[in-house]
Amino acid sequence: MSDATPPRTGDARGGSGQALAYVPDRTETPRMPGRPRHVLMPGACDAHCHVFGPYDRFPLQQPSSYAAPDAPAERYLSMLDTLGAQRGVLVQPAPYGTEPAALLDALRQGAGRLRGVAVADPQVSDAQLRAWSEAGVRALRFVEARDPAGRLFPGSVGFDQIAALAPRMKQHGLHAQLWAPCDVYTRHLPALAGLGLTLVIDHLGSLVPGRGPQDAVFQLLRGLLADGAIWMKLTLCRVGTAPDYADARYLHDAFTAANPDQVLWGSDWPYVRMGDKAPAADALLDVAWDWLGSDALRQKVWVDNPARLYGFPKG
């Protein structure tokens, strides 16, 4: 994916010495799911979604390179209810930078059914990290995706900041969530795995299914997962080809077989950068249900694993 698209700045606000805040001049209504064919078990979790807005209360902190979704907490919670997911994990999107107000507001509205993944650089205070943890934040997200000029996506914090934050992340019970083009992991994961942090990889490692099972990055990720060094999010829509995603099934099945106790399912709603190719979350859920194949594995992926990683209560 490229972040080189000209930004949609909307209305920029900001006083002297303050970061600008951006109110989009237009928004897009995200695709909402229908009812899945399959009924999720109690305590099921969609482990990867985002909230945006309302923009009059929570303006963006960076100009967005994609059309801003109209995806406030109320719409997100309705989406979860339609899927039949009792729990959810919200991930801070890059246009909000290190300002978690929209995320924290959604966690409050979730009344215990949600957890969060925020974004911070090493300048974050311990008081902030403590407050975020108490509010339900369980991780910080790091992105190592760059435009052709080598610049990070606006609002992102790169992998090179993790080591400086790692001691305080461990102190506050936070793990690291990582997103990058697949080949980037080869350069970074060996060192990151030595920090003693729990590492969660987004979107099936951003692997390219056409490279096949002999791909060196796939072999690296599968090996680290099998060893318990990483967790993997099975967010299929960012890797496979719709509508049946058959080209990515071998990746999905290899990861669930390598370590069924450290894989998670996420819809990735509201599907930024996907436009009219955005999938329906219910269809993604049904594909995963069929591929997982057994109630025991479904229980692990949708309930037990996210409960353990994100600290949801048992039962």
What CA–CA distance (Å, rounded) separates 18 from 15?
Answer: 5
What CA–CA distance (Å, rounded) separates 62 from 95?
Answer: 5
221-232 burial: b if 16+ Cβ within 10 Å, else e = bbebbeeebbbb
> 202 with 177: CB under 8 angstroms?
yes
**33 inside domain:** no
Query: Residue 145 — pLDDT band, cuts 50, 70, 90?
Result: confident
State both tokens at 178: 């990582």
pTM for this model (two decimals): 0.92
Query: Residue 8 — pLDDT band, cuts 50, 70, 90?
Result: very low
Give yes or no for residue 16 having a pLDDT over 50.
no
CATH code: domain of residue 289: 3.20.20.140
User: What angle, rounded to 10 degrees, do the helices at 281-292 and 73-83 form?
Assistant: 40
User: Average pLDDT of 275-291?
Assistant: 95
Residue 89 lies in domain: 42-310
Give the Cβ contact number of residue 74 at 10 Å: 13
Which of 49, 18, 36 is CA-nearest to residue 271?
A: 49
Total domains present in the chain: 1
Give yes or no for residue 308 having a pLDDT over 90.
yes
**6 inside domain:** no
Give yes or no for residue 6 having a pLDDT over 70.
no
Q: What is the pLDDT of residue 19?
A: 53
> 201 with 221: CB under 8 angstroms?
yes
What CA–CA distance (Å, rounded) separates 213 from 215?
Answer: 5
Model confidence over 92-141: pLDDT tens digits?
Answer: 999 999 999 999 999 999 999 999 999 999 999 999 999 999 999 999 99
State both tokens at 193: 């795995």
Model confidence over 178-227: pLDDT tens digits?
Answer: 999 999 999 999 999 999 999 999 999 999 999 999 999 999 999 999 99
**16 inside domain:** no
> 231 with 41: CB under 8 angstroms?
no
Over pLDDT 90: what percentage of the chain? 83
**287 inside domain:** yes
Q: What is the pLDDT of residue 21?
A: 82
State both tokens at 118: 């925020």
> 262 with 225: CB under 8 angstroms?
yes
Model confidence over 18-71: pLDDT tens digits?
Answer: 456 888 888 889 999 999 999 999 999 999 999 999 999 999 998 777 888 999
